[in-house]
Structure 1
Amino acid sequence: MSPEEKPGGPPPPPQAGRCRGARPQQQQQQQQPRRGGLLSEIRTAIRSEPFHLRYRLSPGRELGRGKFAVVKKCIQKDTEKEFAAKFMRKRRKGQDCRMEIIHEIAVLELAQCNLWVINLHEVYETATEMILVLEYAAGGEIFDQCVAEREEAFKEKDVKRLMKQILEGVSFLHRNNVVHLDLKPQNILLTSKSPLGDIKIVDFGLSRIMKSSEELREIMGTPEYVAPEILSYDPISTATDMWSIGVLAYVMLTGISPFLGDDKQETFLNISQMNVSYSGEDFDLISESAVDFIKTLLVKKPEDRATAEECLQHPWLEQSDEPISRAWNESAGGESSDVTQQDADSASEKSVDTEKTEEDESIVTEELIVVASYTLGQCRQSEKEKATEQKAISKRFKFEEPLLQEIPGEFIY
């Protein structure tokens, strides 16, 4: 679906700057289900007819699998369009978790006008499961390039562009009082891999609605990405997401998980003690401005962390080597620019920055293909753990199950 096709504008009366779903969200907050921070009302019609009447599953491997859900690629029969079907079990560990799925649908509805959030197409329900038909992203998750060898890994200019999109999406969520609470490379997808596409934020199974009248305290998230306040059981806030974005920026730039220990206990200790390094060979090609960006987020006190809006104003993201690969702006009817002039400006600025000489050699304008995205399976373990000097606590990825000890049932990707 192209940006022009994204639905926008709430039901009458119209409100500038708001998207479809934002107004009903205010009403949904009035009726809280069993757990705080969950929405309980949706607008999407839940279909009861057999899923296979309108869709056929594509042959080949599954797109993702967790304990209570599986994601498969499917084709809509009458249009031949590609989608991803997320089959979610309603009962988990003997408990009815249908309302948690309803909440996830409601958040997707709220954010459906945002370009950087996955789009929900349809919902089906059977006696045992609910099926979310989601957009499909051909590029897969950014995790793959985070753990790739240096030649194939993200360049800093790529990380800057993708991080700006992530922050714009998260800023939208935060303005609508949504905290994601599980931002990580597996939950950021790409619309295409080559050329490098745009991002889609997915998986709102752990998300919560923040209300000024109540505090949320829950143990949830993925170990390497949880903020210190999660571990100390202090109130959750939008700043909790910003910590995760700091970790995400670190791993996108270096391929290293900054707080990862040999087990969960060591990982949690590294987080609570702020054991993080910004030196060593992994930072040889990383600019000082990028490091400063991360340092504004990996701050122990939530109130001292930069907000999403403040991050978007950080000098690192405002440097002008970012305009490459922005062809989607023209197709979206958004801001367009003279790419040739911007490339010249970019080359001029980067000549001062000796840490980016490799990026100066070739600036290519790529056409981005805005397609769709889906929710992938649970975290994969990398076989490429790499010990680095002066970074005893930093290792190549070795993700574990999400941390969900005090949640009824479990959420999957």
Structure 2
Amino acid sequence: DDKDGHYIVRPNESLTQQYKIMRLLGQGTFGKVVECYDRVRRKYCAIKIIRAIPKYRDASKIEIRVLNTLKHHDPLNLNKCIHLVEWFDFRNHICMVFELLGQSVFDYLKSIQFKPFPPTQIQRLAKQLITSVAFLHDLKLVHTDLKPENILLVGEPTTTCTDIRLIDFGSATFEKDYHSAVVSTRHYRAPEIILGIGWSYPCDLWSIGCILVEFFTGDALFQTHDNLEHLAMMNSVLGPLPPHMVMSANKEGQKFFFKESKKLRYPTTKTTKQSKKFVSALKPLQEMVPPNNQHNKFLLDLLKKLLVYEPSQRISAREALRHPFLSCC
């Protein structure tokens, strides 16, 4: 192992007698993902090798619990979430074996130079993604980290049939379990998380709204690393936050607004020219997705129901599946 508890991957070595390491597929804070050959099943697979550090070992045990729940409730995988084949402990590393899949939707977007997806492809991807999320929510699970990097393509991407799998249940939370304060990757983070109001299932639907805009334009909707700038961007695209949400924000969240008017304190004296330029360049949603044909009209209508500030007013995954944008494909 290296000093950070990562397993040192060497191609052609074995992880137990069953698995031969082929190559490194990727790595993250949790550990590494390698492509392996399964000598028993005689096929290739992906193995997530968790860092040999208690914090990451404990987190992976929770992820395994989630993955087992998914598999138990959907043995045929009609809901397109990644299936855990098995897991084992190897030299203090928890290893999770998965089916080998293709590239992520993010890598695919990158490979086509971030060109927008054609309309029918957006529909198919949206339908599959929302089907997966509705299934999770029925099981009382919130994914909390939906983003194009966590949607993998099955096989080669084609414009006609694109089968996907939802991955990375490392931050998935059972509704009844402890909810950490900050969840999800910045660009896809819902307003209630930024304001510290508390979150639940609706935060996944906000992320889906952001993802669908990204499929339509080719660019991430809110490209920022700062809370105030993020709220200012939301303001540009979706208008001001409702005062009652501002009032229920935590102490951190209140700081972004004027006490009396509940308006956003942006720009401040500290705001950079670059930031102001970014924020003012953002167009309202209906200019980003102009409703000039039936497809766009339906998409815009769905987006307006997903990107609702008030979590209790946001459309649910099950409701979204009945939306005309998805029922017409």
* Interval containing the TM-score (normalised by the shorter chain): 0.7 to 0.9
Q: Give TM-score, length-normalised by structure 1.
A: 0.59
Q: Distance in 2 between matches of 1:168 and 1:257?
A: 22
Q: Which residue is 2:179 aligned to?
A: 216
Q: Distance in 2 between matches of 1:228 and 1:265?
A: 10
- Give the 5 Å matches for 1:29-178: 51-59=15-23, 62-91=24-53, 96-112=55-71, 113=74, 114-115=77-78, 116-138=80-102, 140-147=103-110, 149=112, 153-178=116-141
Structure with the higher helix share, 1 or 2:
2
Q: Distance in 2 between matches of 1:65 and 1:264?
A: 25
Distance 1:252 1:152, change over 3 A: closer
The answer as to 2:230 corresponding to 1:268 is yes
- 1:160-204 deviation digits (Å, cap 9, x = unpaired): 011111111111110110000000000011102243431101001
- State the percentage of identical aligned residues: 30
Q: Which residue is 1:182 aligned to?
A: 145
Give 5+ residue unaligned stretches, structure 2. Answer: 1-13, 239-283
Q: What value does the CA root-mean-square deviation take over the aligned residues?
A: 2.4
Match of 1:287 among 289, 292, 296: 296
Q: Which residue is 1:334 aligned to?
A: none
The amino acid across from 1:85 in the alignment is I
The amino acid across from 2:85 in the alignment is H
Match of 1:297 among 306, 312, 319: 306
Single out whichever of 215-224 and 265-274 deviates more from structure 2: 265-274
After TM superposition, give the deviation of residue 253 of structure 1 in Å: 1.5
- 1:198-244 deviation digits (Å, cap 9, x = unpaired): 11010011110002xx7735112100001011111122211111111
The amino acid across from 2:146 in the alignment is L
After TM superposition, give the deviation of residue 142 of structure 1 in Å: 0.7
Task: Report if aligned partners of 1:228, 1:300 keep a CA contact under 8 Å in 2.
Answer: yes
Q: Which residue is 1:12 aligned to?
A: none
Q: Distance in 2 between matches of 1:123 and 1:210?
A: 25
Task: Report if aligned partners of 1:90, 1:129 keep a CA contact under 8 Å in 2.
Answer: yes
Match of 2:222 among 254, 259, 270: 259
After TM superposition, give the deviation of residue 127 of structure 1 in Å: 4.0
The amino acid across from 1:296 in the alignment is K
Q: Distance in 1 between matches of 2:303 and 2:85?
A: 35
Give 5+ residue unaligned stretches, structure 1. Answer: 1-49, 323-413
The answer as to 2:164 corresponding to 1:199 is yes
Q: Which residue is 1:245 aligned to?
A: 208
Q: Distance in 2 between matches of 1:265 and 1:221?
A: 13
- 1:267-290 deviation digits (Å, cap 9, x = unpaired): 533366464532557758861211
Q: Distance in 2 between matches of 1:188 and 1:302?
A: 24
Q: Give TM-score, length-normalised by structure 2.
A: 0.73
Q: Distance in 2 between matches of 1:80 and 1:100?
A: 30
Q: Distance in 1 between matches of 2:148 and 2:47?
A: 21
Q: Distance in 2 between matches of 1:77 and 1:153?
A: 41
Q: Which residue is 2:319 aligned to?
A: 310
Task: Report if aligned partners of 1:215, 1:235 keep a CA contact under 8 Å in 2.
Answer: no
Distance 1:153 1:123, change over 3 A: same
Task: Report if aligned partners of 2:30, 2:56 keep a CA contact under 8 Å in 1.
Answer: no
After TM superposition, give the deviation of residue 266 of structure 1 in Å: 5.1
- 1:51-108 deviation digits (Å, cap 9, x = unpaired): 331011114xx211113311111111133211001111141xxx53322111100111
After TM superposition, give the deviation of residue 129 of structure 1 in Å: 1.6
**Paired residues, number:** 262
Q: Relative CO higher for 1 or 2, CA cutoff 8 Å, sep ≥ 6?
A: 1
Q: Distance in 2 between matches of 1:176 and 1:190?
A: 24
- 1:323-378 deviation digits (Å, cap 9, x = unpaired): xxxxxxxxxxxxxxxxxxxxxxxxxxxxxxxxxxxxxxxxxxxxxxxxxxxxxxxx
